[in-house]
Amino acid sequence: MPYVNIKITKTGATAEQKAELIKGATELLQRVLNKNPATTFVIIEEVETDNWGVGGESVTARNAKAP
């Protein structure tokens, strides 16, 4: 019973994009590890950019500096 947790920042991923991630992760586990899609769980967590840090600063701060 595979459990996949995908974490992304809340930057506007569409429902269609999330559905594609869920489908793709499920298909990958089936193809590579022969896991049953019916018992494969894929969770997408969206994290506020204030709560996601890279290189010692939040993504919000990094995005503010981007040209």
Q: Is 37 a catalytic residue?
A: no
CA neighbours closer than 13 Å in the CB half-sphere of residue 15: 0
Q: Which of 1, 2, 33, 59 is catalytic?
A: 2
Cα angle 54, 7, 11 (rounded to 5 degrees) comes to 75
Reduce the DSSP state of residue 57 to 3 states and report it: strand
- Return the pLDDT at 14: 97
pLDDT for residue 16: 98
pLDDT of residue 67: 83
Residue 48 pLDDT: 97
Q: Which two tokens stand for residue 15?
A: 């429902």
How many angstroms separate the CA atoms of 51 and 5, rounded?
A: 17
5-63: pLDDT as tens digits: 999 999 989 999 999 999 999 999 999 999 999 999 999 999 999 999 999 999 999 99
Phi, psi of 21 (to 5 degrees): -60, -45
Confidence (pLDDT) at 2: 97
- Is residue 66 pLDDT above 90, yes or no? no
